[in-house]
């Protein structure tokens, strides 16, 4: 299991590899904008502060949304598509 830190001071702990950042936020009852849960709506944008190499690959729907939002050249992901893989630590913040 990998470790995820959601800033500012929202969560810090281990997460299973099949759980997205959005799923975790909803379980913690943290209010976050979202609608489609497929990387298309662009509402659940997060900034990856460290640990990019411990995240799942970006797939086409999310990639297209990041391009439309003009953040594909920045360390940004959609929370609904982002999962920690492996045993490293990832630090993100809600945008």
DSSP code, position 54 = G
Task: Give pLDDT tens digits along the chain (95 positions).
Answer: 899 999 999 999 999 989 999 999 999 999 999 999 999 999 999 999 999 999 999 999 999 999 999 999 999 999 999 999 989 999 999 98
| Coarse DSSP helix, strand, coil percentages of the chain, rounded to the nearest 5 percent | 20, 30, 50
Q: What is the pTM of this model?
A: 0.93
Enumerate the domain spans of the chain. Answer: 2-94
CATH superfamily ID and name for 2-94? Beta-grasp domain (3.10.20.30)
């Amino acid at each position: 299991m990998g470790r995820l830190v959601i800033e500012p001071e929202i969560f810090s702990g281990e997460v299973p590899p099949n759980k997205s950042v959005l799923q975790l936020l909803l379980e913690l009852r943290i209010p976050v904008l979202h609608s489609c849960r497929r990387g298309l709506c662009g509402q659940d944008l997060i900034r990856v502060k460290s640990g990019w190499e411990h995240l799942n690959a970006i797939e086409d729907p999310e990639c297209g949304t990041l391009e439309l939002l003009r953040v594909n050249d920045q360390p940004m992901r959609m929370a609904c598509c982002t999962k920690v893989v492996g045993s490293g630590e990832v630090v993100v913040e809600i945008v």
